[in-house]
Structure 1
Amino acid sequence: MAWFPFFVELDGAPGLLVGGGTVALRKAEKLLAYGPRLTVVAPQICGELAALEGPVFCRRPFEERDLEGPPRFVVAATDDRALNHRIAALCRERRIPVNVVDDPEACSFFFPALLLRGKLSAGISTQGASPTAAAWLRDRLDALLPAGIEAMLDRLDRCRARLRTECPDSRERADRNRRALELELALPDAPAPAPGPGRVALVGAGCGRADLITVRGLRLLRQCRALVYDDLIDPALLDQAPAEARRLYMGKRSGRHAAAQQEINALLIDLARQGGLVVRLKGGDPYVFGRGGEEALALQQAGIPFEVVPGISSAIAIPAEGGIPVTHRGLSREVHIITAHTGTGDAPDYRRYASLQGTLVFLMGLERLPRLADDLLAGGMAPDTPAAVLSGGNAPHPAALRAPLDRIARAARDAGIEAPAVIVVGPTAALDLR
């Protein structure tokens, strides 16, 4: 039967190594990486072993009093088989874990083939059958590890500690820890940026799961000094910012604004002037009805360096998630992305969109859906034109509803669909490619 692999804390723990040759040297080198208080007992101790820093050396034969204390573990590594067996028997009487080199039957624990990378510790054992095979497997595992595994585990450790206080629900906490790992594995560890003048990155987070962000966006997020974020951002992305980074919520939803756009512009400028990288994390794409253009203009006028990292817009992502391609050969050769809101707050006239070909995608239009449908019909669009209302990504109430244009508003109301939602009108809205 296989032996169970326990992981034991040895930092500061007393340990006894009996033997002073090259075999004892190899055991000591493995052990000392884990910080025990190691005592080496042997009449003669080879030069390489004696040169190690940390152990206490007793140049004399083994005595039973060496087991007083008792030590947390004992390693018998002499070239005297009878002495090794005597040490093993004494340890078993005292219930002290003992390893006897090259004698599996005398052992109560084995030395595995060890792999140590920061907080990662792996041990592979064949229960003494083939140490060579264990070492071969260890080397293959080492080759599979991502670059920067030590820093990655440090970040995941900080994320896990923060989530223990921020996220009381155990299932949500486990999901966010898993997604944090997925994002860590998505790209190699990047070097920390050199200190310098402040700059801003307008980063599109994509629409939906955290792994829809671009590689460039994720790398900038991991390097930021301050993070300013919107609604509907996957929380796993917030966990990717450095632990010391400031996190500032500036969501803007219909009827509920955490801050006016002018305040957000001013905040980005102020943070940038304090130095370092500021990431403005926006759902979807910054320039597709995300008001990223207004923020870029404000930064440009203030003389703040900035860059824009595109993201996957909800105009494309949410229909795709619901099984609707916004273009499709033979059905739709063009797509029009329209906001249902106007900058002035006046009631818009949607009749002019009825003559457009292809697919119409309306954002931020759920409240105006009855007016929108009526105007399209009044503009000459056929009553049986396929239409769909979809809420997805990180929306709190996902839904996907299809109905003819003349019935879509009532169907959405009866289904209780809630904002945010994307409205699709056109032949592809009848498709369900999931």
Structure 2
Amino acid sequence: MGYFPFFIDIKGKKGLIIGGGRIAEHKLRKILAYEPDITVVATKISDSIKSIEGVKFIEREFVNSDLEGCSFCIAATDDKKFNAYVAGVCRKYHIFINVVDDKDNCQFLFPSVYKAGNLSIGISTQGASPYIAADIKNRIAAELPLDIEQILDYLCSIRENIKAKVDDSSKRAAIFKASARRCMVLGRKLDDDELDEIIASVKENKSDEIKKGRVVIAGAGCGAYDLITVRALNAVKAAEVIVYDDLIDERLLEYALESCEKIYVGKRNERHSTPQQNINELLLAKANEGKYVVRLKGGDPYVFGRGAEEIQYLKEAGIETEEIPGISSAIAVPAMAGIPVTHRDVSRSFSIITGHTSGDGKDGEKTLHADIRNSAAMDGTCVYLMGLTHLKEITDTLMKEGKSENTPAAVISGGFDGTYKAVRGTLKDIVEKTAKEGIQSPAVIVTGDTVNMNI
């Protein structure tokens, strides 16, 4: 059979559901949001179905006359022969019929449905796999802006206003397109100034698309591509330019538009390939071209990611910005190794400290930051990022400042693909154990009693 996905208005249309059990209720609840006039007929109807408002109930055996005036019927009993009989009656009277678990007797199928206001998405595998249909529906729904219902209501509400302001039908179409695109990029409805800017731009033949640049500083999460947030992934999919770092999973770039410009500006420890000021200027230049720019950073942009510096620079230049949080390695990497950063009665706090050196020593000599020395007095869990090359200096400093040499310590490196390495020990022996295991950067150093938990 060839099932074409018509969208039919069933509001107020009379429909009959034959069956009073769980399956009948499942079908009933699927269509209630579309406001049909439903009658349920069965010898026994569950209390759960009877509790549904706005539905008529006939608790007796089905008779053919129950179908009078119906636009559609759903046969949902556990008697296959009876369901097939109902299907035959419906075909005789040209009433659309759906028979549960009997595709051959169906004239219409139930898709996996997502509904948000004026938006309806229906996915069908023609009965081959309802699970896959539901999975595809969920994936599509997850990629939509959270405010998609409000966006659609807004786009509907501005149509008459635009028609009154713009006589040229082609320009109206360009305005509708640009407005819709801008709403999807922003994930919200437009304010009056944003809409007026689009209208003016199209009326003056400047462009049929919005040309106001914008930069999103987005966290890509920790290592694996599927640890990015839905909001950040949506930004990647809409980006015209992606400026990305060293420690992201490059599979994320496959979600970008084919036309998207991808610019690598990776930096790692002492091997800076692109100075920060150059990155700032690049983001500004692309935004000034009217591009939607996504600055994709590993972990969280505000956890030693210099994201705040970039946003400050762009805001001072008058560029619209947004920050999207990401999963930080300071929490995720210890968790991967079975180390929670907090645990009741073990650690009620955690601190994230840079393991980088800074040129604040004598004659500009690079030394460990004072925060590392101060962390020796901290209770709870301490997480040191970007400190593997200075592991011996860090542990020696902590012990010198009074931290017990028996303080549990761990070093974890690798990703969420099962290739990670984790070494446990104490401040006294963790350097030796780490060297023996050949741990390499990037790695996270953890100290505190939660290291011993190994969940």
How would you bin the TM-score normalised by the shorter chain?
0.5 to 0.7
Matched to 1:262, the amino acid is Q
Q: Are positions 1:382 and 2:396 aligned together? A: no
Matched to 2:320, the amino acid is P
Q: 1:183 to 1:276 in 2, by over 3 A?
A: farther
Q: Are positions 1:287 and 2:296 aligned together? A: no
Distance in 1 (CA, whole Å) between partners of 2:272 and 2:140 is 32
2:212 corresponds in structure 1 to 197
Contact kept? 2:122, 2:137, Cα under 8 Å:
no
2:436 corresponds in structure 1 to 414
Secondary structure, in 3 states, of the residue corresponding to 2:409?
A: strand
Deviation, structure 1 residue 405: 1.3
Q: 1:149 to 1:262 in 2, by over 3 A?
A: farther
2:104 counterpart (107, 131, 151): 131
CA shift digits 1:194-231 (9 cap, x unpaired): 62300100001111322322222122221111000111
Q: 1:182 to 1:235 in 2, by over 3 A?
A: farther
Q: 1:432 to 1:354 in 2, by over 3 A?
A: same
Distance in 2 (CA, whole Å) between partners of 1:294 and 1:262 is 10
2:177 corresponds in structure 1 to none
1:405 corresponds in structure 2 to 427
Secondary structure, in 3 states, of the residue corresponding to 1:140?
A: coil
Distance in 1 (CA, whole Å) between partners of 2:250 and 2:140 is 14
CA shift digits 1:79-119 (9 cap, x unpaired): xxxxxxxxxxxxxxxxxxxxxxxxxxxxxxxxxxxxxxxxx
Unpaired stretches in structure 1, ≥5 consecutive residues: 1-25, 31-125, 151-179
TM-score (ref. length: structure 2): 0.56
Secondary structure, in 3 states, of the residue corresponding to 2:330?
A: helix
Secondary structure, in 3 states, of the residue corresponding to 2:352?
A: strand
Unpaired stretches in structure 2, ≥5 consecutive residues: 5-100, 124-135, 149-179, 184-209, 360-364
The count of corresponding residues between Structure 1 and Structure 2 is: 281
2:367 corresponds in structure 1 to 347
Q: 1:309 to 1:429 in 2, by over 3 A?
A: same
Contact kept? 1:391, 1:418, Cα under 8 Å:
yes
Contact kept? 1:251, 1:258, Cα under 8 Å:
yes
Q: 1:311 to 1:388 in 2, by over 3 A?
A: same
Contact kept? 2:113, 2:121, Cα under 8 Å:
no
> Percent sequence identity over matched residues?
43
Deviation, structure 1 residue 392: 3.2
1:254 corresponds in structure 2 to 269
Distance in 1 (CA, whole Å) between partners of 2:261 and 2:438 is 37
What root-mean-square deviation, in Å, do the aligned CA atoms of Structure 1 and Structure 2 show? 3.2
Secondary structure, in 3 states, of the residue corresponding to 1:248?
A: strand
Deviation, structure 1 residue 257: 2.2
Q: 1:149 to 1:408 in 2, by over 3 A?
A: farther
Contact kept? 1:226, 1:246, Cα under 8 Å:
yes
Contact kept? 2:381, 2:447, Cα under 8 Å:
yes
Q: 1:217 to 1:405 in 2, by over 3 A?
A: same
Secondary structure, in 3 states, of the residue corresponding to 1:192?
A: helix
1:306 corresponds in structure 2 to 321
Distance in 1 (CA, whole Å) between partners of 2:407 and 2:280 is 41
Contact kept? 1:200, 1:272, Cα under 8 Å:
yes
Q: Give the alignment of 1:1-400 within 5 angstroms.
A: 131-133=104-106, 135=107, 139-141=109-111, 143=113, 186-188=142-144, 192-193=181-182, 195-344=210-359, 346-348=366-368, 350-393=372-415, 398-400=420-422
Secondary structure, in 3 states, of the residue corresponding to 1:338?
A: strand
Secondary structure, in 3 states, of the residue corresponding to 2:345?
A: coil
Matched to 1:379, the amino acid is E
CA shift digits 1:105-145 (9 cap, x unpaired): xxxxxxxxxxxxxxxxxxxxx9xx96225x55xx2345489
Contact kept? 1:234, 1:394, Cα under 8 Å:
no
Matched to 2:448, the amino acid is G
Moved over 4 A (4+): 144-150, 180-185, 394-397
Deviation, structure 1 residue 343: 4.2
Matched to 1:431, the amino acid is M
